[in-house]
A and B are shown apart, each in its own frame.
Chain A
Amino acid sequence: MTAANIKVSETPLVLYALRRADDALILGHRLSEWCGHAPAMEEDMALANMGLDLLGQARELYAYAAKVEGRDNDEDKFAYLRDVRQYRNLLLLEQPNGDFARTMVRQFFYAAFADLYWRAMMKSSDPTLAAIAAKSEKESAYHIRHSSEWIVRLGDGTEESHRRAQLAIDDLWAYTGEMFAVDDSERGLIDAGIAIDPGTLKAQWQKTMTSVVNEATLALPKSDWMQQGGRSGRHSEHLGHLLSELQSLQRTFPGATW
């Protein structure tokens, strides 16, 4: 192994697995940044717990991408030896933690999607993806419960928590559209029954948004402008800093085993 970026043969299926693996890794990494700094010990445990679930999902998806690709890449090469332009995660998930409201809103937006997504993916004609989905679905069910409860507590808590939760919703909303986007490489997998069309989940996701946000006495933004780019490696400026931290040891000591 050298410290240079690896080459990846991004066939549609490899790319598909990498996109979901990157989602899980980057969000898991963000949650792990909270460790020791959360507002309550119980929440320290919960954030680490969700982070660990996501790291586990990432590892399974990377392993599958490596198997499908059939070169000598593996989970660590995918995670540690690709740069910003090779990462394929959603822009939403690389957004900084900010305050606790921002972290929970990001979690809520994604978990509400992931929960529907993994449940639907259990019917994938690809047995590995279906198996990963069956495991991930149990975890995302917990993540959506935990994060939606916090959205309600924060929204319907104090004036201060209401203000912060609303601000986070307004700021992060434009990153939600990317979850439902489909490009040509995914279209073929959808037609083959390997992937599900995320567009079919949007109405249900929107329903969860509306009911939880209403219960929280908060409001969804009117704007429907949506940022895109993560899936093709056009990221926000935040990801580079995240990766420089994540990858520092592998980059400093090329070829070492840890």
Chain B
Amino acid sequence: MYTQALNSSDGDDRGIEDAARAAAFQARIDDDERIEPNDWMPAAYRKTLTRQISQHAHSEIVGMLPEGNWITRAPSLRRKAALLAKVQDECGHGLYLYAAAETLGTSREELVDLMLSGKAKYSSIFNYPTLTWADIGTIGWLVDGAAIMNQIPLCRCSYGPYARAMIRVCKEESFHQRQGFEIMVTLCRGTEEQKAMAQDALNRWWWPVLMMFGPPDKVSQHSDTSTKWKIKRFSNDELRQKFVDATVPQAQFLGLTIPDPGMTQNESGNWVYSEIDWAEFNQVLAGNGPCNRERLAARRKAHDDGAWVREAAAAYAEKRKARLLAQAAE
């Protein structure tokens, strides 16, 4: 699994050799070839992808918590089953993504430890609380909607295992997004209280969702090389604009108001939104969002409380192996 070892070369030739390999690598990328785990890749490409894929995996796992918060309170059995199935899907996405990250040579355990220790990040959006049932609809509609905008281009990402994971993930995400929108439709056609609940949820989630696309292009630190390596195919601002343009008509259909009164459509039909509060975004990333502490604490607790179970499974597997060996020796 530690393919990095394959990339090492000795002595003075390394610089020249790596320069030649880097050029060949870039030529493959430019030809839209897929890079596979055993292929040579620049250390920085490996590092960037490990960071991005593992953060993506962490987001799926932490993202189970805000929605999981409503499984026991879902208002109908149909909604309860759909929500439980959705959160289960997210766990599955986390597993695909950790497996994709592991092909780059770092184990899932190491990656998870980085998240639990606060050294690796997960999506800023999951640091916001789910206060009402309408938040569950809004998360499906907007958060999954934004995730799809981000992930569809990743289906063509240059790294094969990541691209293939994204194809599977996107299919399920678009189903979740439709489910979320359907919850919103039901609320908006329901009682006045339900409609107000839906509007309040949109008010609270709109800006955090726009922040999911990351910092504006002029300050995004990873974009240049990610674009050159075809990990990223559209800029943060391009994707954010695409999302806003797709979402405004959906809000209109629901009869909801986007909490940005200054919004206007320009001559090319794009909706021009107001300045995002980047100070809030930076605070959330720095660990100071409304739920950062709770989210990490919940994941750490699950990890710590489960330690004896994992130890038991490992001890049993060892015993079993020893018994089978002893049997074979007889």
Interface residues of A (CB under 8 A from B): 25, 29, 32-33, 35-45, 48-49, 51-52, 55-56, 58-59, 62, 75-76, 79-80, 99-100, 152-154, 156-158, 160-161, 164, 245-246, 248-250, 253, 255-258
Contacts and interface: CB of A to CB of B under 8 A. Distances in A.
A147 B122 CA distance: 32
B68 A36 contact: yes
Contacts of B306: 38-40, 43, 100
B140 interface: no
A218 to B, nearest CB: 13
B193 A48 contact: no
A137 to B, nearest CB: 20
Contacts of B73: 245-246, 248-249
B61 interface: yes
Contacts of B64: 35-36, 44
B296 to A, nearest CB: 13
Contacts of A25: 77
B301 A160 contact: no
Interface residues of B, number: 47
Given A45-B88, A248-B73, A158 B193 contact: no
Residue of B88, B95, B298, B307 contacting most chain A CB atoms (<10 Å)? B88
Given A32-B80, A161-B311, 15 more contacts: A29-B72, A35-B87, A36-B61, A36-B298, A41-B61, A45-B95, A75-B77, A80-B76, A100-B309, A152-B316, A157-B316, A158-B315, A257-B190, A258-B75, A258-B133
B309 A37 contact: no
Nearest to B88: A48
B184 to A, nearest CB: 12
B94 A48 contact: no
A16 B136 CA distance: 34
B131 interface: no
B79 A41 contact: no
A40 B299 CA distance: 11
B88 A161 contact: no
Residue of A58, A59, A164, A257 contacting most chain B CB atoms (<10 Å)? A257
Nearest to A160: B308
Contacts of B72: 29, 32-33, 245-246
B79 A258 contact: yes
A45 B85 CA distance: 9
B170 interface: no
A94 B315 CA distance: 31
A202 B190 CA distance: 49
A50 to B, nearest CB: 11
A157 B88 contact: no
A52 B305 contact: no
Contacts of B14: none
A55 B191 contact: no
